[in-house]
Amino acid sequence: MSKATATAHSNIALVKYWGKRNSELMLPQNGSISMTVSDLNVNTTVEFGSFPEDSLVINNQKLNKGTEEYDDYVGIFLNVVRNVVKKDLKAKIVSESNFPIAAGLASSAAGFAALALATSKALNLPTDEKSVSILARRGSGSASRSISGGFVEWKRGEKEDGTDSVAVQIAPKDHWPEFRMLTTIVTSSAKKVKSRAGMAQTLKTCPYYKGWLESVNQDLDIVRKGIIEKDFTSVGQTSEFNALKMHATMMTTKPPIIYWMPSTLEIMQSVMAWREEGLESYFTMDAGPQVKVMCLQKDVLELKKRISELNGVQQVIECKPGDGARILDRHLF
Ligand code: PMV
């Protein structure tokens, strides 16, 4: 049977991955740490066989060969898989997400994590977390982190072949069940500059990128320790500052990349003001306008109410530490 289905959740980085040292193998310039989140998930069924060509349907929409979305992402990934199995198999893929894709909610992380696990199962490749993480990385770097649940670190690795650039769990979801990520949607339209292009442009033209790289290892140490010790202030402060440093490199590329919208800034400034009042929360943003607000369970109700009342906020999704990718019995076709 060369058909399998898997589910995977998105992950939100606390220490961000920004920049590749090898774009073919998707090897990062720096390590990163994330939380796999409970409520944003993608289910994917893949079947390999002698179809005339590959096909891909995401949320009932067919994506065709020849489009950037297809060729630069799933197209490249399937060629990697064909190279591994040394067979010219074609794939039929159907995928469903419960949140808007390409809007900065790590849809590619969940999508490629689910696809990598389903592919490994369908083709009888190893399905242990390390092997699947390495395969998922070839679809999208951050997908390597969605294979494991809870809090996860993607090691930069040193080897040229990428065999040590793999994500490992720091702590399972039950280690810190009070941690929350309030994912705030301010627009559901697709982002303008994909992270892949944004990273490449930053490496080429940002005068501050070196500063980013020099400071990231310290952030990794603080956040890793903060997770283990469940020190919310330390994790929150360092994660927020890390996100701002990443956005500072994006904004200072040529041409500048500004992912924020007015409501992004409004949420950020409100979080800072509420913190002054004693309502402790921190923000983080990825390659898109959405803001994820980190807080503890005890403050969720109050924060959700306040965030929902801000201008432009369409939806607030409460995410807890979630599970890693897993195989499902029920196929989508
Ligand atoms: O893996 P990609 O290509 O989706 O890049 C992810 C980059 C950020 O989301 C901005 C940061 C991160 O570590 O998730």
> Does residue 17 have its Cβ closer than 6 Å to ligand 1?
yes
C-alpha of residue 84 to centroid of ligand 1, in Å: 25
Within the chain, which residue ranges are assigned CATH 3.30.70.890? Answer: 179-319
> Does residue 140 have its Cβ closer than 6 Å to ligand 1?
yes
Kindly give, in sequence order, each residue whose CB lies less than 8 Å from that of residue 319, ignoring residues fewer than 6 positions away. Answer: 12, 37, 38, 39, 40, 180, 181, 182, 183, 292
Residues 323, 324, 329, 330: is their CA dihedral positive or negative?
A: positive
**With bands split at pLDDT 50, 70 and 90, how would you rate the model's confidence at 188?**
confident
> Does residue 195 have its Cβ closer than 6 Å to ligand 1?
yes
* Residue owning the nearest CA to atom 10 of ligand 1: 286
Architecture per CATH, domain 2-173, reads as: 2-Layer Sandwich (3.30)
Q: What is the pLDDT of residues 208-256, one digit of tens each?
A: 999 999 999 999 999 999 999 999 999 999 999 999 999 999 999 999 9
Q: What is the pLDDT of residues 108-140, one digit of tens each?
A: 899 999 999 999 999 999 999 999 999 999 999
Question: CATH for 179-319, among 3.30.565.10, 3.90.1150.10, 3.40.190.10, 3.30.70.890?
Answer: 3.30.70.890
pLDDT value, residue 102: 57
C-alpha of residue 228 to centroid of ligand 1, in Å: 23
* Residue owning the nearest CA to atom 9 of ligand 1: 286
Closest ligand 1 atom to residue 140 Cα is 1
Q: Worst-scoring range by mean pLDDT, 177-191, 252-266, 304-318?
A: 177-191
Within the chain, which residue ranges are assigned CATH 3.30.230.10? Answer: 2-173
pLDDT value, residue 49: 94
What are the angstrom distances between the C-alpha of 17 and each of 28, 112, 133, 150, 179?
A: 7, 16, 15, 18, 21
The answer on pLDDT for 202 being more than 80 is yes
Asked whether the whole model's pTM tops 0.85, one would answer yes
Closest ligand 1 atom to residue 16 Cα is 13
pLDDT value, residue 107: 77
pLDDT value, residue 1: 61
The answer on pLDDT for 190 being more than 80 is no
